Structure 1
Amino acid sequence: MSSANAQAYPNKSIKLIAPYPPGGGVDTVARLLAERLAARLGQQIIVDNKPGAGATIGGDALAKSAPDGYALMLGSVIDYSTAPLFQKSLGFDMRRDFTPVVEVGFGTVGLIVTADLPARSVQELIALAKARPGSLSFASTGTGALHHLNMEMFKQQTGVDLVHVPYKGTTQFLPDLLAGRVQITMDSMPAHLPHIKSGKTRALAVASTQRSAMLPDVPTMAEAGLPGFETATNYTLFAPANTPRDIIAMLNKVANEVLRQAELRERLLALGIVVTGGTSEEVQARIPLEMSKWATVVKTANIKIE
């Protein structure tokens, strides 16, 4: 490293902001990552949970942190792409105030239906919904949540009319999905795997570019006839904007080394997360594309959060 910054870095503990509560998926990944990064960097990494307001409390804390490499955050590109669409007075902007370090991985999202629904493929679901407009409903974890936006994108690409039923979380809507009171959701796979495998629900497709190792027989959306339909829960390590480039480079190098560990990859896959790794620049290039995609979905669907 050329700069004195990177030569001396890190010489004290590092804070890793998790913008969600303890015990959830982001928190779990943050702790797995913190432990292994700390071992490589030789300094303690303390996970600091700052939940609330759709991950924007944590995002605001990162934006206001000194750009010295001692404050990081594990967050989602999608969260911070959609937040400004619903929170007009947001005090930070992902493009201006964050520097991505690395994409840790993504959680596979599946199009899931209740077992009683007479649709065994995406095309059969589309045909059924067109034959019964407004009679099928989908569950989400709240208006403007990724589940909701995923299904609005599905509606826009297929021209179907489905009724949105918002809940406070997956655990709240699962009983209704299993009972057939709502028929459809598009959600991260892990919570649904036991029910898919027991036949209580069906996964019609996954919304990733490749099939999921969890359900290798389930086609991708592209294979099911919807090319370009991609969405996932995303886990990205961010630093504040203006963090020295050599510190970002060091963190990226160490993070990629950690993400190549077979044991960590297996732990993350058990949580439904596929490790990606890669460069800071790859994430940076994707941010405006994600922001544009979700802005179009929200505007077309005229979604507003009161």
Structure 2
Amino acid sequence: MRILALGKWVVSLAAALVGLQGHANEAAWPTKPVRLVVPYSAGSTADMVGRILVDRLGARFKQPFVIDNRPGGGGEVGTQHVARSAPDGYTLLLTTGGPLVISPSLKKDLGYDLVKDFTPIADLAWIPVILVSHPSFPARTLPELIAELRKRPGHYAYASSGVGSYAHIAMEMFKQALGVSVNHVPYRGPSQAESDLVGGQVSLMLTGISTASVFLQNNRLRAYGVSSRERSRFVPDVPTLMEQGVKELVDYEVTSRTVLLAPAGTPKNIVADINAEINRALASPEFQEQLHTKNLLSHASTQPAKVSETLVNERTTWAKVIKAAGIQME
């Protein structure tokens, strides 16, 4: 009996030591700089969000949080790098949704999977796109635009920042909802696409509000609607596509979001600590204003489970659009 009791005591002591070690490990993070991998170049949306965020996180956790730009493959290079990194809280992914929710339907072997390889932390910022045309386009309102496209199928062309970009996929969803035919002209990035739109070489484009607003102010572009459920504070006079009485567009919502994720298996306490600090930031008027100066919007709060659900739903939506459009990477 004494031997049995002694055995139980040893087991209990071992369990207690393991528990203490676990708490010690939890308390130890971070003990060195944390990298936020941005799979795009400096100046991109994710990069801008990251540079606002790192100071806040560094001050809270008493260690530097450093932006590590790893562009390439439309965001896939940096995303793959994080998927293969150790799940220790020292390598995180700060990205827009493209490589997570669009790329899986365009490429067979990405080297990562949204659900299997990542743990979501936060949804930091988002922005809708805006449907614009060259002023010469023979329609001043959204209903007039739709009528013109239906009257002349295949006659007009729209620009995008490249095959598989948000601008491309979002316009294909717009076409599918309305049953219209508009030719696609892909460019290598948004700048040349917007330049040709302003120059009248193409007729239409779904593009970012920040750049479009400059041309709207001097009447070099015409706006038909934004792709969010509510009007944008940056162009408050432009209605949403949903609100204009077009039944085919009552559920048309497209937003580009910037999210923070960690490699799958990252300790839950680290994820929770970062998420809690980000929620404190989102509740801060100063942090919100920093985002607004970059023409970015944010939620009042963010939870990892909701981030995961949102990304999975977007991946499903874009997969259907891409399949219906027959889009393939060259």
TM-score above 0.5: yes
Separation of aligned partners in 2, 1:236 and 1:45: 16
1:290 & 1:5 partners in 2: Cα distance? 35
**1:178 maps onto 2:198 in alignment:** yes
Q: Is the 8 A contact 1:178 1:200 kept in 2?
A: yes
Deviation by residue 1:62-109 (Cα, 9 ceiling, x = unmatched) = 101111111111112343111121221211101110111000010221
- Asked if residue 56 in structure 1 is aligned to residue 76 in structure 2, the reply is yes
- The 8 Å contact of residues 111 and 187 in structure 1, kept in 2 or not, is answered as yes
Could you state the TM-score of these two structures normalised by the residue count of structure 2? Answer: 0.89
Indicate whether 1:206 and 2:226 are aligned.
yes
Letter in 2 for 1:29: V
User: How many Å separate the matches in 2 of 1:51 and 1:59?
Assistant: 9
CA RMSD of aligned residues (A): 1.3
Instruction: Note if contact 2:38-2:68 (Cα within 8 Å) is conserved in structure 1.
Output: yes
Out of 272, 275, 286, the position equivalent to 1:263 is 286
Q: How does 1:21-32 map to 2 (within 5 A)?
A: 21-32=41-52
Q: Identity, % of aligned pairs?
A: 37
TM-score normalised to the size of structure 1?
0.96
Residue pair 2:98, 2:165 contacting (<8 A) in 1 also = no
- Work out whether 1:244 is the aligned partner of 2:267: yes
- For structure 1, which segment, 38-47 or 294-303, has the greater mean C-alpha deviation from structure 2 after superposition? 38-47
Q: Is the 8 A contact 2:275 2:303 kept in 1?
A: yes
* Cross-structure match for 2:313: 289
The corresponding residue for 1:34 is 54
Shift of 1:13: 0.9
Q: CA deviation at 1:267?
A: 2.1
- Structure 1 residue corresponding to 2:147, chosen from 102, 127, 134: 127
Specify every segment of 5 or more residues in structure 2 that has no aligned partner in the other structure, as ranges. Answer: 1-21
Are 1:103 and 1:283, in contact at CA under 8 Å, matched by a contact in 2? yes
Residues 207-256 of structure 1 deviation map (CA, whole Å, 9 limit, x = unaligned): 11111001112111210221111111110011111111111111100111
Contact 1:5 1:247 in 2 (8 A): no
Contact 1:69 1:239 (8 Å CA) reproduced: yes
C-alpha distance in structure 1 between counterparts of 2:79 and 2:24, whole Å: 28
Answer yes or no: is 1:161 the counterpart of 2:184: no
- Give the SS at the match of 2:122: strand
Mapping of residues 106-121 of structure 1, within 5 Å: 106-121=126-141
List gaps (5 residues or longer) in structure 1: none
Asked if the contact 1:17–1:58 (Cα under 8 Å) also holds between the matched residues in 2, the reply is yes
Cα shift at 1:270: 2.1
Contact 2:79 2:99 in 1 (8 A): no
Deviations 1:156-209 (A, max 9, x none): 000111010000111111221112211111111111111011111122111111
Superposition deviation, residue 296 in structure 1: 0.3
C-alpha distance in structure 1 between counterparts of 2:243 and 2:23, whole Å: 49
Q: Count residues in correspondence.
A: 305
> Contact (CA 8 Å) 1:37, 1:258: kept in 2 or not?
no
Report the residue type matching 2:324 in the other structure: T
Q: Which runs of 4+ in 1 moved over 6 A?
A: none
Higher relative contact order (CA 8 A, sep 6+): 1
> Are 1:108 and 1:232, in contact at CA under 8 Å, matched by a contact in 2?
yes
Aligned residues of 1:108 and 1:272 also touching (Cα < 8 A) = no
Counterpart residue identity of residue 314, structure 2: E
Higher helix share: 2
Q: 1: distance between equivalents of 2:327 and 2:236?
A: 34
- Structure index of larger Rg: 2
Residues 178 and 201 in structure 1, CA contact (< 8 A), matched pair in contact too: yes
Counterpart position of 2:17: none
